[in-house]
Amino acid sequence: MARLMEKYKTTVLPQLQKELNQPNRMAIPQLQKIVLSMGLGKSVHEGGKKRIDAARRELMVIAGQAPIVCRAKKSVSNFKLREGMEIGLKVTLRGARMYEFLDRLINVVIPRIRDFRGLNPKGFDGRGNYNMGVNEQTVFPEVEADKVEFQQGLNITMVTTARNDADARKLLQLIGLPLRRDEKDSAA
């Protein structure tokens, strides 16, 4: 069992149950999936197929599973975009692989980010999901920095079963995600 999954079941779940005053364990918020995505809009103009292949290899190493290619649904002449062009990659992680990725993210990757002062608390979407971005893929230790041809950002979306942002915030903080304190929180 993944270390973070065990932590969730043994410490986070009982503590959330107590804090939320919820007698039913099944109603307690939990992490449902993590989606990693890369937008490759630059590949349309510069680098092309080579850039997409490099990003695919790096995302596969980071996630531990093969990404799927996202294609343009419509043609947009202002962006020189044609329907069906490859414009992004995404991977959905669930179960043990999701918890292992989150464990690596919290304990290895986030401490390697330059000038890190906590994750933005405004990354919640209003429905209990949290979004964050990483500016370059080289903060992941799996990616060999000397073999990286193109710097590429990465979006990370954590989808929870929480119905609101407050419950999701409690869940993610108890799991260990280093969220920066809100201006509202520090005033109180």
pLDDT digits 0-9 by tens, 72-97? 888 888 777 788 888 889 999 999 99
For the chain, what is the mean pLDDT? 86
Residue 48, pLDDT above cutoff 50: yes
Residue 164, pLDDT above cutoff 70: yes
Name the architecture of domain 3-177. 2-Layer Sandwich (3.30)
Query: Left, alpha or beta for 176 (phi > 0: left; psi -120 to 50: alpha)?
Result: left
Could you tell me the residue ranges of all domains in the chain? 3-177
Q: What pLDDT sits at residue 188?
A: 42
Sheet strands side by side (includes 130-134): 68-71, 86-93, 31-39, 154-160, 130-134
Provide the terminal-to-terminal Cα distance of the chain, rounded to the nearest Å.
39
Q: Give this prediction's pTM.
A: 0.86
